[in-house]
Structure 1
Amino acid sequence: METDTEEATMTKWKLPTAINRSVGILGAGVLGRRIGACWASAGYKVNIRDPDTQQTNGALQYIKNEMWRYKPTVSPDKISVHGFQDLKPAVEDSWLVIECVPEKLDLKMNAFADLEKVVRPDTILGTNSSSYKSREIAAKVKPDTAKRMLNMHYYIPPDIRVVELMTSGSTHEDIFPFLEEHLKRSGMLPVMAHRESTGFLLNRVWAAIKRECLMVLSEGVASPAELDMVWNEMFVKTGVPPCELMDSVGLDTVSLIEQHYIQERNLHDPGVIAFLQKYIQEGRLGAKCSKGGLYPPGYTTKTAGQQQTPYDNLHAPTLYILDLGLNNAPEEVYQRGRILVGSADGQTPLRTIVDHQPMPDGIALCPSEGKIIWGNMGVPNKNDGSIMSCNLDGSDIKVIIPSGTVHTPKQIAVDDDCSKMYFSDREGMRVFRCNIDGSGLEVLIRNGDWATGFDDQTKWCVGLGLAPLEGKFYWTQKGPSKGSKGRIFRANIHTPPGHDASTRTDIECLFQGLPEPIDIEIDEEGKFMYWTDRGELPRGNSLNRAERGPDGQYTDHKILARNLHEAIGITLDRKNRHIYATDLGGAVYRFNMDGTGRRKFYEDEGSFAGIALCDK
């Protein structure tokens, strides 16, 4: 009787309509955001759900900034993408949900069991798994739900537009032509596996090639570079070599997939898993982490002009750049500052998200709040500086430190863990700290009183950097223009008891006699200090680094790069191990952490000051 009832219920199932309903994406990682961009580019409403707010914000920014790569067929006002942390509101109206959670069977089974409770009964459920059959993933759902499930495996759009479709063993047959039609509308190339197969079409072949490559490496027959060189020369020449590909996917994911193949097919592991575990235990997962993988950190993050493959730039950050507005007519200079958004490869056109700002300079991001925070210097001889905030897309602009409270705000630093921000005040001769919303404002350093005169430029506070693990903050006092009187200081994050901003005794001068130090950054381990200097050559117009010794003192000051044009902004890409810098000449530069590998892009598009980045 149960079987008859079930069969009667199933005969009533009909294909869903996509009109006024969303495509739900579970997981905002590398593939989740790219899959969302494919559907959004064709005018489909997209909801992306990820428990990690920072991941969701990164996905939304990726889609906004990189949409041009997907060749959208609708106008920008028809692009509809929304981020969620909770499951139900993200998928309750979806006609299609695509799961992109990590490649672990129990996570995927639980994800579909949760979906079954909140989606509509006609919703099609796809898994982007590259190694698990949807039959396996459907173990915790009802039989009628399994008939709406299938494998829906994407590669790396927009460069590789293939989507492999495969049945769960009981998937309604009319789902496949229905999805093929919608996938083609979203610019994809759907192909269907004629029967269930672990690895589908390409990955089954790739699994064997990859395993042999790993054996060659684990046995010490060749290095990753040598293997890729031979592969490139023999087969693809300008294609994607296997070791770069595995780094881009992530060695932890590669290991999980390999373990599944070995278990399912009862294969002998020739040492591949142990070889991969050495990298994984050291945190060397590939392009998605700061320690690299088979290749060094940042290898796949390439700029315009470098030879690239579809798997490069997967983790290149989004850049937020301040244009002072100096390139405008004199009467407009103090009203035409902008916040620009671009990409770390220099290939995404710069896009203005905030404009008509009075001389914006310092900028920082608060990932937990999804906010941009920046300072407006205002007119230099007036006490009209302010600190502003907005969402990552430029909406909801707010004043958080009103005009006149700070004189000339410069570099800003955010301690996201403590929900605090720090900023320097040039002519105000101060360093401030407050909450992210601007409340709780306090002065940490006071070198003088702007109201009684600020002619002594050696007291002007400009750059500001944080070293939370060290319990210190750093700042620069630039001195007169090109005057070689610049200095770098540090002090404790907590003011000594019984002292205030004017009398504290814990201030250390680390360097003096510098041409004109501007912005400053401290790496997360506190080992290196980096700063820009806009002073005179040969030491000025430069990017600099100093190393902290075992005694906590900084020595070994090195000029990493010269010939910048009025160097100002600096920020560190800690994941890919890169330095980004800007100059008033309107260029963005990228360097390796030791100053090598210099790249220059976004030239002559403004007069650039502060720069910040958001990891994708």
Structure 2
Amino acid sequence: MGPSWQPPKDYRKRPVVVLGAGVLGRRVACIWASAGYNVHVRDPSPEQRADCIAYVQQHVASYAEHTRAEPGEIAVFDDLAQAISNAWLVIEAVPEKIQLKIDTLAPSDSILASNSSSYKSSEMLEKVSDKTKPRILNMHYYMPPQVMVVELMTDGFTEPSILQFMAERSKEAGTKPYTARKESTGFIFNRLWAAVKRECLTILAEDVSTPSEIDSIGADMFLKGSVLPCKGMDSVGLDTVAFIEKHYITERGLSPDKTVDFLQTNYLDQGKLGTKCTKGGLYPPTEIAKPDTKSPTLLVLDIGLSSKELNFKAGQILQFSPDGNVQKVIATGQALPDGIAFDPSSKRIFWANMGIPGKKDGAVLPANLDGTDIRTVVAPGTINTPKQLALDLVSKKIYFSDREGLRVLRCNYDGSEFEVVIQAGDPSNSIEAQDALNWCVGITVAPSLGLFYWTQKGPSKGGQGRIFSAAITTPQGQSVATRDDIRVVLSGLPEPIDLEIDEDACALYWTDKGELPFGNSLNRLYLDHLGFPLPSSPRLGYEVLSRNLNEAIGLKLDLSNDTIYLTDLGGNVYRCDRDGKHRVKLLSDENRALTGITFV
């Protein structure tokens, strides 16, 4: 075959075939159908075939939320030849070896994939011709839709361009592919999981702990603590890792070949000890996340409603030192400022003035860091009540929510290309305009996911707040009125306000000024690699990280310092870590009502 291999030109018109209609097989079928492919499923059991059809028909629309494609058709077969006669891809999802009959019945240009996770595919090639071997690979799925990961691995003969092609098709089908660098007994995660299983069983066998304690500490460390294996070793220090492993080797009579000896030869002898070393460790020094010990300067908006003299233009932009001391007032005379953001490339701050709610007198303005050169990006008379403001640093766009305008808008930094991207209701209709379910408040942008997120807070303390997402690029042929890509991320929230996203960790954070016990809080939801909610163990479906704020509003993540900053209308500025712990109050001033916050 060689490097001249090209995918079938008509693969889009040919079916994907899944051999096996069991629990996993029907989910794999649903994945490919959700990407717009017609799928054939072969299984000798009539019951399994019927269950497969029912599962795909019931769930393909929800899978398609990850692909945004028109789902393909599903068909089931008893006869193998009929099922695979025109396939471009055949995936076996049954625990059996690839048989000669598949080699001879499938088209000569089709790709043959085994879902086996415990055996090398080369061990399943006893009766497969040399001509076919380059078209075979291992392609292991876990349990969709909870885990949308697929691992790819060569059979020892697989044409490399096929692996690349299948990685691209897997992304198209809404899964996240990982490709093993060489053939292995067990995929990447299988081998990692195998080691965890062995050690868990050893702990139990030695009466060191119990199953529930093991699971509990695992959840605290790996899920909540976000401990990652290789970054964790770099953080501890590879010399320390080697020292600990030597003790296990001596005690258990293990071989040091692929642990201590590997570390010594490839890392320690070269002075690569981890994050404490300029040469790096398992990660190169350029990829090691080094904490920025320089504390940022904080910029905070005082809406002005708690000032001694009531004035709708008493708002200020304040500059704070990291310890909470007001260094100076950058701008005064602002009409109820609410959202603020900083663009590091232009060294400019952008903020939104709400104006008087109900009047079309909101505005968006930029200025230098010292408050000079204030301009108007969006002038009064265009928008109603702009709230949180977020910058897309990639496309140089400003996103902001217009509460009484019932919409989300964006424009360029200079105000050009002004457009409505979400219209939640008709502001000219008095009933819709007064319905707080339509009020858009918080906004954040995730360019790496191709999505933006916003809150619609619902009635005050009403428990009807929602978080939505939509694509940065409006679906082709659709408009703000017809777009069908809007998704409800969470519903039934007390009263969600400002949003921020950690794109690296795929974690969505928000403040909520709703009623206790879950309102007036900082919250977090983990997302999958496509930006949709991961299954969550907490009863609420998300994590409440910090509570008992005083009308929580502002939120800003400082990820380089593992820090979150918060504000509330009670005149408080808080700092905590990214898990909401170790919260300290940097400022408390009853004569201020604080809204947006950012840092330089």
Does the CA contact (< 8 Å) of 1:467 and 1:473 recur in 2?
Answer: yes
Alpha-carbon shift at residue 381 of structure 1 (Å) = 2.4
Q: Are 1:612 and 2:589 matched, yes or no?
A: no
What's the TM-score once normalised by structure 2's chain length?
0.52
1:427-442 equivalence runs, <5 A: 427-442=404-419
Deviation of the 1:490 alpha carbon: 0.1
Q: Which residue of 2 aligns with 1:596?
A: 581
Give runs of aligned pairs for residues 152-191 of structure 1, distance below 5 A.
none
Give the 3 Å change call, closer, same or farther, for CA 552–399 of structure 1 in structure 2: closer
- Which amino acid is the alignment partner of residue 331 of structure 2? V
Within 5 Å, give how 1:20-59 maps onto structure 2.
Answer: none
- Root-mean-square deviation (CA), in Å? 2.5
The separation in 1 between residues aligned to 2:580 and 2:284, in whole angstroms, is 24
> TM-score under structure 1 normalisation?
0.51
| Residue 586, structure 1, aligned to residue 571, structure 2 | yes
Q: CA deviation at 1:535?
A: 0.3
The aligned amino acid for 2:356 is V
1:502 Cα shift? 2.1
Please name the residue that 2:289 is paired with.
291
Structure 1 residues 378, 283: closer, same or farther in 2, change over 3 A? Answer: farther
The one-letter amino acid paired with 1:603 is: S
Pairs within 5 Å for 1:32-111: none
Per the alignment, residue 279 of structure 1 pairs with 280
Asked if 1 retains the 8 angstrom alpha-carbon contact of 2:449 and 2:531, the reply is no
1:334-349 superposed matches below 5 A: 334-346=312-324, 348-349=325-326
> What SS does structure 1 have at the residue aligned with 2:376?
strand
The corresponding residue for 1:506 is: 485
Label 1:338 to 1:284 Cα distance change in 2 as closer, same or farther (>3 A).
Answer: farther
Letter in 1 for 2:283: E
* Residue 481 in structure 1 maps to residue 482 in structure 2: no
Residue aligning to 2:227 = none
Deviation at 1:586, TM superposition (A): 0.9
Matching of residue 495 in structure 1 with residue 456 in structure 2: no
1:338 maps to a residue whose letter is Q
**In structure 1, C-alpha distance between the alignment counterparts of 2:485 and 2:239, rounded to whole Å:** 55
The question of 1:563 aligning with 2:542 is answered: no
1:382 aligns with 2:353: no
CA distance in 1, matches of 2:465, 2:368: 35
- Asked if 1 retains the 8 angstrom alpha-carbon contact of 2:394 and 2:447, the reply is no
1:550 is displaced (CA, Å) by 5.5
Tell me: CA distance 1:290–1:575, structure 2 relative to 1, closer, same or farther (3 Å): farther
Residue in structure 2 matching 1:423, options 396, 400, 421 = 400
Q: Which amino acid aligns with 1:590?
A: R
CA deviation after TM superposition for structure 1 residue 525, in Å: 2.0
Unaligned residue ranges in structure 1 (runs of 5+): 1-215, 224-269, 299-313
- Residues 1:352 and 2:342 are matched in the alignment: no
**Is residue 362–residue 410 contact of structure 1 (8 Å, CA) maintained in 2?**
yes
Contact 1:585 1:607 (C-alpha < 8 Å) held by counterparts:
yes
Match of 1:445 in 2: 422
Query: Structure 1 stretches (4+) deviating beyond 6 angstroms?
Result: none
Question: Taking structure 1 as reference, are residues 379 and 544 closer, same or farther at Cα in structure 2, changes over 3 Å only?
Answer: same
Distance in 1 of aligned mates of 2:502 and 2:523: 13
Read off the aligned partner of 2:434 and give its amino acid letter.
D
Shift of 1:590: 1.2
Q: Shift of residue 602 of structure 1?
A: 1.4
- Tell me the residue number matched to 2:523: 544
- Once the two structures are superposed, residues 486-536 of structure 1 have per-residue CA deviations (whole angstroms, 9 ceiling, x without a partner) of 000000001112221122100000111100000001113261000000000
What is the match of residue 319 of structure 1?
Answer: 298
Residue in structure 2 matching 1:516, options 495, 503, 521: 495
Cα deviation for residue 387 of structure 1 reads: 0.6
Which secondary structure state, in structure 1, belongs to the residue aligned with residue 452 of structure 2? strand
Contact kept? 1:370, 1:391, Cα under 8 Å: yes
Q: Distance in 2 between matches of 1:521 and 1:507?
A: 18
Q: Which SS does the other structure have where 2:561 is aligned?
A: coil
1:468 aligns with 2:453: no
Q: CA deviation at 1:365?
A: 1.0
Q: Does 1:530 align with 2:509?
A: yes
Structure 2 gap segments, 5+ residues each: 1-235, 244-267, 537-541
Three-state SS of the structure 1 residue aligned to 2:410 is strand
Match of 2:385 in 1: 408
Seen in structure 2, the aligned counterparts of structure 1 residues 505 and 327 have a Cα distance that, compared at 3 Å, is same
**Counterpart residue identity of residue 508, structure 1:** R
- For 1:469 and 1:345, locate their aligned partners in 2 and report how far apart those are by CA, in whole Å: 33
Cα distance, 1:422–1:339 mapped onto 2, change above 3 Å: same
Specify the SS of the correspondent of 2:272: helix
